[in-house]
Chain A
Amino acid sequence: YEILECSLSESGYKAPSARKTGTTIAGIVYKDGVILGADTRATDDMVVADKNCMKIHYIAPKIYCCGAGVAADAEITTQIMASNVELHMLNTGRPPLVAMVTRQLKQMLFRYQGHVGSSLIVGGVDVNGAHLYSVYPHGSYDKLPFVTMGSGAAAAVSVFEDRFKPNMGLEKAKQLVRDAITAGILCDLGSGSNVDLCVITEAGVEYLRAYDTPAKKGKREGQYRYEPGTTAVLTKTVTPFSLDVVDESVQFMNRE
């Protein structure tokens, strides 16, 4: 028995509001590949729920995806894509194409008619070169040299429109994406905290978590520790469990 969101409001109930990421995400194509950038704030309406979340998700060894919109939708959608991509690689015996990821994403999002509220920026390097796509919740996509999404998209795209040039060098390109995300962090209330970057080239991936921190926490002057006993203990009951060791087995975890 399925309960649809529409039928809830007919009965006068409101479905709990999903946590959105707020967000500024951006991507550019530069000389050697693509650079993806994102802020790290997740909001519950207008309260910060997570000050340092990860919005750049792994899809394939050289394909990553930034997610904006409903946090759960972005997270699950990218995980489903990563899983499908791996199966596809095994089926075809070929490394994945960015276009393939984009097509699977848009087919899934269109099927859900926009109810899966994730706006994504897919970027990566494949046998055909470096590619960058933006995919919208209803299933449309754009293939462009630079894209921005999220509530801070306007702030970020203004930086790109000013300074983007095709075939930029690595350092200038990283600086440009950093500046675009920083514009979102400072000028958009839905975005904040740190800048995460992900540089993808033929050679490999460099995931730069907290590449820049334009907003630092203020230093508190006072001490706010509590002595033990500050919280009143009204009653205390101790129930000892008498246990005997019956059997012991050790398993080693394969940690790689």
Chain B
Amino acid sequence: MLSSNAFVDPGKMKDYHYTGPVEHRFSPYSFNGGTVLAVAGEDFAIVASDTRLSEGYSIHSRDSPKCYKLTDTTVIGCSGFHGDCLTLTKIIDARLKMYKHSNNKTMTSGAIAAMLSTILYGRRFFPYYVYNIIGGLDEHGKGAVYSFDPVGSYQRDTYKAGGSASAMLQPLLDNQIGFKNMEGVQHVPLTQDKAVQLVKDVFISAAERDVYTGDALRVCIITKEGISEQTVPLRKD
């Protein structure tokens, strides 16, 4: 019985008793899991991520948050291949400094988003395997969320989920924040407390069904007062 698995898909789970021929090709990528979520309010923004770093069926770390502080008013969440996440954030930090030195002002959230798009597209033919979501306050002090694909396509959103459990979270956010698929419900504007509560609840649910999401949740709340952080425990299995 000849096996058809001549070429193994890198990053895909292999059967653990597989013994047929396999063509090994070095893959520069690996998938480290993790889920990121950002919500924009009237005068606040929230960026949240789980803190589990995994590879294959193992856990590398239970305390590796995926939110990185860029400026006093902007936080970026990066999930996907951890190596590229680290390099990309280093590059963004360097570019922020360069901008500050040339233009004598801090980059705004919108400017960072536009810049990130060009950085990502610069690697169009050997992409950064990173799913980015930027959350922060725009020049008018209103909450802003920018979501990206690995090669730099981006748009401004009110809320966005990215990473391994994104397909589980996004429909729930569409319903609870966007009031989609509901009739006769009052469209109340989202308060900061309600948003934080919702973010915590959706991650609790994601941790139930996504094996890559769990351990703990890091929530960064961005307001004109600054960035405050909360850590909430999640399932460790």
Specify whether A and B are partners: yes
Bound together, the chains give a CA A88 to CA B54 distance in angstroms of 47
Which residues of B sit under 8 angstroms from A251, Cβ to Cβ?
none
CB distance from B149 to the nearest CB of A (A): 21
A188 nearest in chain B by CB position? B57
Nearest residue in A to B185 (C-beta to C-beta)? A230
A232 within 8 A of B: yes
Tell me how far the C-beta of A151 lies from the nearest C-beta in chain B, rounded to whole angstroms.
5
Interface presence of A51 (CB below 8 A) = yes
Q: What residue of chain B has the Cβ atom nearest to residue A44's Cβ?
A: B209
Q: Does residue A202 face the partner (Cβ distance < 8 Å to B)?
A: no
By a CB distance below 8 angstroms, the chain B residues around A230 are 182-185
Chain B, residues 1-32, CB within 8 Å of chain A (1/0): the string is 11110000000010111010000000000000
Q: Does the CB pair B4–A6 fall under 8 Å?
A: yes
Contacts A185-B237, A230-B185 known; A48 to B17 CB distance under 8 Å? no
Which residues of chain B (207-237) have a CB below 8 Å from chain A? Answer: 207-212, 232-237
Instruction: Tell me, yes or no, whether B103 is within 8 Å of chain A by CB.
Output: no
Q: Is A214 an interface residue (CB 8 A)?
A: yes
The segment from A95-103, A216-224, A235-243 found at the interface with B is A216-224
- A189 on the B face (CB < 8 A): yes
User: A48-B209, A222-B201 are known contacts. Are A231 and B1 too (CB-CB below 8 A)?
Assistant: no
- Residue pair A217, B204 in contact (C-beta under 8 Å): yes
Contact of B59 among A48, A189, A219 (CB under 8 A): A189
Q: Does B58 touch A at the CB level, under 8 Å?
A: yes
* A217 and B235 contact, Cβ closer than 8 Å, known pairs A229-B183, A230-B184, A230-B185: yes
Which single member of A48, A152, A191 contacts B208 (CB below 8 Å)?
A: A48
Contact B236 A46 (CB under 8 A): no
Contact (Cβ within 8 A) B209 A216: no
Contact status A113-B1, CB under 8 Å: yes
How many inter-chain residue pairs (CB < 8 Å) link A and B? 103
- Our pick among A138, A151, A192, A222 for the contact of B16 (Cβ within 8 Å) is A151
Contacts of B4 in A (CB 8 A): 5-6, 9-10
B35 within 8 A of A: no
Q: How far is the CA of A171 from the CA of B57 in the complex (A)?
A: 31
Chain B window 188-220, contacts with chain A (Cβ cutoff 8 Å), 1 for yes, 0 for no: 000000100110110011011111100000000
Q: Is B147 an interface residue (CB 8 A)?
A: no
Complex Cα gap A149–B230 (Å): 39
Q: Which of A41, A51, A192, A218 has the most chain B CB atoms inside 10 A of its CB?
A: A218
Q: How far is the CB of A118 from chain B (nearest CB, A)?
A: 10
Q: Would you call the interface of chain A mostly helix, strand, loop, or mixed?
A: loop
B207 touches A192 (CB 8 A): no
Complex formed: what's the CA distance from A188 to B214 in Å?
12
The interface on chain B, measured as residues whose beta carbon lies within 8 A of the other chain's beta carbons, has a size of 40
Contact of B212 among A46, A188, A216 (CB under 8 A): A46
- CB nearest to A230 among chain B residues: B182
A186 touches B183 (CB 8 A): no
- Is A193 an interface residue, CB under 8 A from the partner? yes
Q: CB of A137 within 8 A of chain B?
A: yes
- Taking CB atoms, residues of chain A closer than 8 Å to B164 are 46
Determine whether the beta carbon of A232 is less than 8 Å from that of B13.
no
Query: How many Å from the CB of B172 to the closest CB on chain A?
Result: 9
Residue of A69, A188, A214, A231 most packed against chain B (CB within 10 A)? A188
Closest to B176 in A: A224
Q: Which residues of A contact B2 (CB under 8 A)?
A: 6
In this complex, what residue of B is CB-closest to A18? B15
A119 at the interface (CB under 8 A from B): yes
By beta carbon, the residue of chain B nearest A191 is: B237
The verdict on A190 contacting chain B, using a C-beta distance below 8 Å, is: yes
Could you give 6 example pairs across A and B, Cβ below 8 Å? A46-B212, A48-B209, A190-B57, A215-B235, A220-B205, A221-B201
Residues of A at under 8 Å CB distance from B? 5-6, 9-10, 22, 41, 43, 45-48, 51, 69, 113-115, 117, 119, 136-138, 151-152, 185-193, 214-222, 224, 226-227, 229-232
Please report B residues at the A interface, Cβ cutoff 8 Å.
1-4, 13, 15-17, 19, 54, 56-59, 164, 176, 181-185, 194, 197-198, 200-201, 204-205, 207-212, 232-237
